[in-house]
Amino acid sequence: MKITGASVNVCSPGRNFVTLKIETDEGIYGLGDGTLNGRELAVASYITEHVIPCLIGRDPFQTEDIWQYLYRGAYWRRGPVTMAAIAAVDVALWDIKGKALNTPIYNLLGGRSRGGVLVYAHAHGADIEEALDDVGKHIEMGYQAIRVQSGVPGLASTYGVPKAGMRYEPAEKGLPSEGQWSTEMYLRHTPKLFEETRRRFGENVHLLHDCHHRLTPIEAARLGKELEPYHLFWMEDPVAAELQEGFRVIREHTTTPLATGEVFNTIWDGQELIQRQWIDYIRMSIVHAGGFTHLKKVADFASLYHVRTGCHGATDLSPVTMAAALHFGIAVHNFGIQEHMAHCEETDAVFPHGYSFKAGYMYPGDAPGLGVELDEKLAAKYPYERAYLPVNRKLDGTLTDW
Ligand code: CS2
Ligand code: MG
């Protein structure tokens, strides 16, 4: 089988997505996700201008050699744009492989290791009461694990909470909006959020929380300690992880499990965190970490150190990545949990798929390959519009992590 052509689709059904389609001389094609929230056209151009010419004529079954060629051959390696582009190629090739072998991708990753993929949903609210009502709604929908985020008294807005009556979609058209942040107000408020959540819903639901890179290690240590009575499933991105050793400080003070890695692109971004067991879950996703070929290696390395997977699964990862994550999650042995932010109707219509949700678990479906399609005609009705993630400033105006 030979690769005969490839094209990049950029569309915006509810939000921007970058999708690679690779075609072969046997009429089988594969899809890959290259979406990088706020920098979509950088990846689209990287794939179109620098990757596709090198793919034509290659054997799509050579996923390892093509991965190494695109990673080492670029010379300038790692980084979010490069690794999202490599991921798009890798996933499209695995999709082709599964279709050619007439089997779902999970069978190429070791087969089913479990009946279903445990997922967690996002619950949020402008205040504690509203957030708890949303937790209740998701419990009624069948979720057994729920991330809880709420507005912080005194702050006009905060991470993870949509504007009143809006769907949560952090990327906004036009130039980046500017958020306001106070660590002190957040640290005073968050333990109360979980005290109330446990009081109302008891212990039988997994609770998760995302600090979104905003604390210092000792602030995260304080929060982790104060959240211990509420037995969180994880406290995510407590600090910006460029300094991996920052997690040692947190680890020394609290037993609240730690998760990080959604912004990581290769194993080297988190190697020390895993090896030192400074984290419990690695959040790297198939689209941002170079596809199945690299993420399988990350999971295998993590399995040596009791670290489990907890792949990122926000709406800015397309249904192509959601499908890939479910094939990955049902197969890898050291699976932990999978994030599931449900896409909007427009997105699901443009990306028809076979995955499904039931009673807190998701299932990849049994179609050969990924089990996702791209309706190019419908996608054309949703043209790309530049959008940015917000930026964040402390109350004194200092720029900080969003
Ligand atoms: C968040 C993401 O889902 C999460 O854990 O950190 O929603 C993140 O804010 C977005 O993916 C950024 O594009
Ligand atoms: Mg996160």
Q: pLDDT tens digits for 20-78? A: 999 999 999 999 999 999 999 999 999 999 999 999 999 999 999 999 999 999 999 99
Provide, for the chain, the percentages of residues in helix, strand and coil under a 3-state DSSP scheme, each rounded to the nearest 5: 35, 20, 45
pLDDT of residue 363: 98
Question: 11-25, 88-102, 161-175: which range is least confident on average?
Answer: 161-175
d(CA 15, CA 385): 8
Check pocket membership of 205 for ligand 1, CB cut-off 6 A. no
Which class in CATH covers the domain with range 3-104?
alpha beta
- Mean pLDDT, the chain, whole residue set: 97
Take atom 3 of ligand 1 and give the residue whose Cα is closest: 314
Strand locations in 171-261 (E): 172-173, 178-181, 206-210, 234-236, 258-260
Q: For residue 173, what are the β-bridge partners?
A: 387
Confidence at 186, pLDDT banded by 50, 70, 90: very high
Cβ contact 16:30 at 8 Å = no
- 285 CB under 6 A from ligand 1? no
C-alpha distances (whole Å) from 208 to each of 26, 47, 182, 257, 291 are 46, 35, 21, 10, 26
Give the span between the Cα atoms of 252 and 322, in whole angstroms: 34
Give CA–CA dist 193/152, Å, rounded. Answer: 10
Which residue(s) pair with 309 in the sheet? 282, 335
CA-nearest of 318, 271, 317 to 294 is 271
Q: Which ranges constitute the DSSP H helices of 205-291?
A: 217-227, 246-251, 271-275
**Cα–Cα nearest to 273, from 233, 314, 313, 306:** 306
pLDDT of residue 20: 99
Q: Is the C-beta atom of 314 inside 6 A of ligand 1?
A: yes
CA 354 to chain centre: 19
Q: 97: exposed, middle or buried (C-beta count within 10 Å: 0-12, 13-18, 19+)?
A: buried
Q: How far apart are CA 198 and CA 234, in angstroms?
A: 15
Q: Where are the domains of the chain?
A: 3-104, 108-368
Q: What is the pLDDT of residue 165?
A: 77
Q: What is the pLDDT of residues 280-335, one digit of tens each?
A: 999 999 999 999 999 999 999 999 999 999 999 999 999 999 999 999 999 999 99
For residues 325 and 50, give the distance between their C-alpha atoms in angstroms, rounded to a whole number: 26
Report the separation in Å between the CA atom of 60 and the middle of ligand 1, taken as the mean of its atom positions.
32
Ligand closest to Cα of 313 equals 1
Long-range contacts of 191-194 (CB under 8 A, 24+ apart): 191/223, 191/226, 191/227, 191/230, 192/128, 193/128, 193/131, 193/148, 193/150, 194/148, 194/227, 194/230, 194/232
Question: So what's the pLDDT on residue 18?
Answer: 99
DSSP 8-state class, residue 204: S
Q: Which ligand is nearest to the CA of 168?
A: 1
User: Is the predicted pLDDT of residue 167 greater than 90, yes or no?
Assistant: no
> Which of 122, 159, 209, 316, when mutated, tests ligand 1's pocket best, judged by the most ligand atoms within 8 Å of its CB?
316
* Model confidence band, residue 164 (pLDDT cutoffs 50, 70, 90): confident
What does residue 4 show for φ and ψ, rounded to 5 degrees?
-110, -20
Positions marked catalytic: 159, 212
Closest Cα to atom 4 of ligand 1: 314
Two tokens at 21?
């389609």
The number of the ligand nearest the C-alpha atom of 392 reads 1
What is the Cα Rg of the chain in Å?
A: 20
Residue with tokens 């798929």: 353
Atom of ligand 1 nearest to the CA of 314: 3
Span 103-112, pLDDT tens digits: 999 999 999 9
pLDDT at 377 over 80: yes
266 alpha carbon – ligand 2 mean position (Å): 17
d(CA 334, CA 104): 20
Tokens found for residue 82: 């490069």
What topology is assigned to 108-368 in CATH?
TIM Barrel (3.20.20)
Q: How many CB atoms lie within 10 A of CB 164?
A: 7
Q: Whose CA is nearest to atom 10 of ligand 1?
A: 314
Distance between CA 109 and CA 68 in Å, rounded? Answer: 19
Q: How far apart are CA 384 and CA 284, in angstroms?
A: 26
Pairwise CA distance, residues 302 & 285, whole Å: 14
